[in-house]
Amino acid sequence: MNRTHPKVNLSANARLVLERRYLKKDAQGNPAETPEELFSRVAANIAAADLHFDPKADTTRTETSFHEMLCEMRFLPNSPTLMNAGRRLGQLAACFVLPIEDSMESIFETLKHTAMIHKSGGGTGFSFSRIRPEKDVVLSTAGVSSGPISFMGVFDMATETVKQGGTRRGANMGVLRVDHPDIEAFIAAKTDLGILNNFNISVAVTDKFMAAVEEDTEFGLVNPRTGRVVASVPARRLFDRIVRSAWQSGEPGVIFIDRMEQANPTKQVGHIESTNPCGEQPLLPFESCTLGSINLSCMVGLDGVDFERLRQTVHEAVHFLDNVVEVNRYPLEKIEQMSKSNRKIGLGVMGFADMLIRLGVAYDSKEAVSWAEKIMSAIQDEAREASAELARIRGNFANYAGSAFDDPSTPYMRNATTTTIAPTGSISIIAGASSGIEPIFAVSHVRQVLDGESLTEIHPLFEETARGHEWCSSELMETIAEKGSVQDVDGVPDSLKRLFKTSHEISPEWHVRIQAAFQKYTDNAVSKTVNFPSTATVEDVESVYRLAFRLGCKGITIYRYGSRGRQVLNIGRGKREAHKIAPRPRPERTQGLTERMGTGCGKLYVTVNSDDEGMCEVFAQMGKTGGCASSQIEAAGRLISLALRSGVKPEAIIKQLKGIRCPSPTWQNGDMILSCPDAIARVLIHVCQSDIEEPAAMMGVCPECSGVLYHEEGCLICRSCGFTKCS
């Protein structure tokens, strides 16, 4: 093909994200390829798979087709494919699920496999439901089990240690069935600031449980070791605890496991127990899935949606993703065997909110729901047709016999699944599109740039719509830049206020209705966050959970504004301007507590004092006085106190201290204390849990560029640099 690499139309932010995360680097860490060369590299590598099926195939034609599709931003694959196609690593899949049986051998074998997947750039999902509950008998040792949550901690620590291919840290999904005896401890697990930071957690809710909630009856908890009911709890009480925890901290999410299993196309091979980290991809054990998204914003022309262009793009994208399955270098032989036997792909969308704006349709409307169903129905129909066309040439997927497609009406099917609505955080920035099926996140937002400066950006579609109108003035645009929204800005027409509502200005009910509309025509599941205002009640969250179940969703993830941190989410620029700060004076009167912590250096006594404004000082002293260790501990206490009185959030301090290791770790109450700073962090965590009504997780600010992290698509995404907490 022509390798002159015509220039791709990218925003400055998109180029920055590509340079930071996707382009090949030289020995000094500088980009060793251009974005144009990246798309050429990916297109050539994926097109070469055609030769696996026909040694005489015209790969130049396929390569040109793929290259044009990528350069025009009509379709982009998931991040591992962009990063690794045509490179040494060659691992192109984002989603994996691994099995965990009720034995030490299985648990640590899976832990090893997890590290290999994370190193290759993938995210992992597990069901811990087969592990016997805490304090259950262990026959081989005459001891007692520590339960699934303790083993989740082991996986979490391993994830923290493994850096993914030099680009991303691993992400996990931990699932526990609602009928597991340890379910209540699991529900509350993420309210502890110090544990499971590399996990999303979801309760696998059954139809039987939801029926018990509806009927207000008792619900049995089953020991997975024996299969016997060992306790009964009021179903509504348990449901309330799930809802209340999600209201408080955003977790756990809920997956409707029976609904996922009903849609499992290869029941003869295995059963669905878990999903990938963001919950949209149910997978069998040892299965992976390759994902990609069509940019719906590119499908709107002067006459509305161009369905012919959409059809063409779907067929090219299915061809592309099936080729990815073929050329992918899988991290485990078992995963390669299972993935190639089912050949699951997940074609989804991004830019849905942009498409609606171009069509003049409000996101929170019946017309938007209708468009969601119409678009996704067309994509699913064409994706299955494209898969059938490939099957006529390449053959059905290996597990076709006995599958849901083994029917005279569908004699050909190349892929067991074809559609998924996956997170598009980074790739939507590259494409200049809104994320997945989410509403726009802001009309104006602040982007951090490399030199520490910040730039205010107005949504391009708003600028395009407003330009040339009498009401549009520099003063009005300045006001929008300050607020980040147009809802309270005088002068903006009501029609545009209706059109440019942001995710936090859309009612939760409409979030769910849009999700359900896409789920109706999606083989796998839908990654989406249902946003709530900070004033939302527990009852508001409960009604959304019930609505999601009633409308046919396969899962639900919610985020109540402010529940994961006290820092205000500034989508405008008014409060983002940098300024130097000085600590407030030490108060005359404080109150606090002192906690003794065992460390490898000896007993450490940590005192945390607070006043009316919160924690204000920390003192730490070793049981034995003198020496360099004591002076360093005193210095740490002084600096922590200075930070607290300067307005630094306690959780930010905790994040810096927790996990610091010294040569002499020790154990206390079943927890490993890694060092004196780690011990101080744990005391701060205890104080936070007792003093803060709404526990703040260690998130909210991007760890790489200090931009704002937004809760979208069941994950956290930085719109400035493309950082994402999930794979």
Residues 210 and 549 sit within 8 Å (Cβ to Cβ): yes
The pLDDT of residue 447 is: 66
pLDDT, tens only, 586-599: 777 777 888 888 88
Using the predicted structure, report yes or no on whether residue 708 has a pLDDT greater than 80.
Answer: no
Split at pLDDT 50, 70, 90, the class of 710 is: confident
The pLDDT of residue 4 is: 60
Structure tokens at 553: 């969703």
Q: Which residues contact 678 (CB under 8 A, 6 or more apart)?
A: 657, 658, 659, 660, 661
Residues 291 and 94 sit within 8 Å (Cβ to Cβ): yes
The pLDDT of residue 564 is: 64
DSSP state of 102: S
In angstroms, the CA 21 to CA 7 distance is 19
Measured in degrees and rounded to the nearest 5, phi and psi for residue 222 equal -115, 125
Q: In a 10 Å sphere around its CB, with 0-12 CB exposed, 13-18 middle and 19+ buried, how is residue 80 labelled?
A: buried
Split at pLDDT 50, 70, 90, the class of 656 is: confident
Q: Where are the beta strands (DSSP E) in 312-376?
A: 345-350
In angstroms, the CA 313 to CA 575 distance is 42
Rg, C-alpha atoms of the chain: 26
* Nearest CA-CA partner of 298 in 225, 349, 232: 349
Structure tokens at 224: 């997975």
For residue 222, the cross-strand partners are 229
Q: Which residues contact 78 (CB under 8 A, 6 or more apart)?
A: 92, 93, 94, 290, 291, 292, 422, 427
CA angle 125, 130, 135 (to 5 degrees): 120
pLDDT, tens only, 312-361: 999 999 999 999 999 999 999 999 999 999 999 999 999 999 999 999 99
The pLDDT of residue 61 is: 96
The pLDDT of residue 169 is: 65
In angstroms, the CA 676 to CA 664 distance is 10
Residues 127 and 177 sit within 8 Å (Cβ to Cβ): yes
* Nearest CA-CA partner of 78 in 422, 443, 585: 422
For range 482-496, the mean pLDDT? 91
Residues 637 and 620 sit within 8 Å (Cβ to Cβ): yes
Q: Residues 332, 337, 343, 344: is their CA dihedral positive or negative?
A: negative
| Residue at token pair 């704002």 | 708
pLDDT, tens only, 224-270: 999 999 999 999 999 999 999 999 989 999 999 999 999 999 999 99
pLDDT, tens only, 46-55: 999 999 999 9
Would you please indicate which residues are annotated as catalytic (active-site) residues?
276, 278, 280
H helix count then E strand count, the chain: 23, 30
In angstroms, the CA 407 to CA 280 distance is 27
The pLDDT of residue 571 is: 54
In angstroms, the CA 340 to CA 397 distance is 8
Q: Where are the beta strands (DSSP E) in 308-443?
A: 345-350
The pLDDT of residue 112 is: 96
The pLDDT of residue 624 is: 59
* Nearest CA-CA partner of 427 in 5, 39, 26, 34: 39
- Cis peptide preceding 99, ω within 30 of 0: no
The pLDDT of residue 565 is: 52
The pLDDT of residue 683 is: 87
Residues 345 and 418 sit within 8 Å (Cβ to Cβ): yes
Split at pLDDT 50, 70, 90, the class of 627 is: low
In angstroms, the CA 502 to CA 496 distance is 12
In angstroms, the CA 175 to CA 275 distance is 8
Interaxial angle between packed helices 35-47 and 59-71, expressed in degrees from 0 to 180 and rounded to the nearest 10: 140
In angstroms, the CA 606 to CA 683 distance is 7
| Mean pLDDT of the residues in the chain | 88
pLDDT, tens only, 187-219: 999 887 667 889 999 999 999 999 999 999 999
Residue 73 has a CB neighbour count (10 Å cut-off) of: 24
Which pTM does this prediction carry?
0.83
DSSP state of 526: B
DSSP state of 561: T
The pLDDT of residue 575 is: 47
